[in-house]
Amino acid sequence: MSSKEYLVDVSAYQNTSMASYHAHGATGSIVKGTEGTWYRNPSAPKQIASAHHYHMWVHMYHFANFGHSVHQAKLEAKAYLAEAKRLNISKKRYLWLDWEASNQNYIQGSRSANTKAILAFMAEIKKAGYKVGLYSGAYVLRQHVDTTKIVKKYGTCLWVASYPSSGVADFDVFPSMNGVAMWQFTDNWCGLNVDGNVTLKELITDAAKAPAKKIAEPKPKPKTPSTVYVPILYGNPNYKVRLLDSKGHYQKYIQTNTKWKVWAEKTIRGMKCYKIGTDQQWLPAKFCK
C-alpha cells in the first residue's frame, strides 16, 4: 500500500460487505476490534473476510476506555491483542489505538499522564510484534497528548481526523502536524456513511514482488493522446472529477461524459496526468479513456 491510497474504517455500524467501498477505490480497511476490556465487534469476522475477498489490506483499531490510567491501558492492550490473535490479524499490519473523548474515555487528565498511558498501551502492542499507531482528532492530539513523544518513540504513526468543509482530501487544508501517517478527512466518504482516510506514508511494505525479469530493450514510450474522453464513473452521471494544478493542489471539478484536448502529459503525485482545457489544469489519466 503506497502513500495517497484510500482506506475505510468500519465498526458494527457499517456493512459487513466491503464491496461498495472497494468499488469506489478503497484499497484497505481498518476494522474495529475491541473497546475497553468488555467489547468485541460482532461484525469484525465478516468484515475482515469480505476485505480479504476483495484483496483489501486489513488493519484493526481499539477504542480506548483507559483515559490516563497506565494500569487500565495495559489491560485493554492485552484484550485487544487477544482479539487480534483470534481474528488472525497479520503482524505485518497496524493495530491502531483510537484515543478520543467519550463517556468511557476521560481525556481531561494532564498531557503528561495521558501520554504516559498511551505509550504504555502502544508498548504492549509493539512488544507483541505488531505495527502500532495512534488515532484521534487534530484538536485532541494538540491539546491533550504530547505527540512529540509518541512520534519520537514510534516514528510516523499518527492517524489524524480533521474534516474540511468540502468533504474531500484537499491538501490545501490538511491539518499540518509532524508524524502524520494517515488523514481521516470525512465521515461520509462517497456518500457511503463510512469514514474516508488517505495514507501519507507506506503502511504496507510486504506486498509480493514480481520475480526479476531479464533486461530487455527499452520499448518506445507511448505517445501522449491528442484528446481524451472522461466517461461516466461508478454509474453516476452526476459524479465529477477534480483537476490538479502543477504542484498537485486540487482545483475545480469537471463533468464526466466529456471530451478534452490534451496539451501535455506529466506525472503529479505519482499519477500520470494530462493538461487539458483553457485553464491548463491537470486531469488524472486514471479517469480517462
Active site positions, annotated:
9, 100
Cell digits of residue 117: 498511558
| Sole residue written with cell 488515532 | 135
CB contact set of 259 (below 8 Å; sequence gap of 6+): 227, 228, 229, 230
- The gap between the terminal CA atoms of the chain, to the nearest Å, is 25
Q: Is 116 exposed, middle or buried (0-12, 13-18, 19+ CB in 10 A)?
A: middle
What is the number of alpha carbons within 13 Å of residue 243 lying toward its C-beta? Answer: 20
Residue with cell 464513473: 233
- The C-alpha cell at 207 is 506486498
Q: Grid coordinates in use for 19?
A: 464491496
Cα separation, 254 vs 232, whole angstroms: 11
The helix or strand, by DSSP H or E, that contains position 92, with its residue range, turns out to be none
CA nearest 72: which of 97, 40, 44? 97
Pairing of strands 39-40, 258-268: unpaired
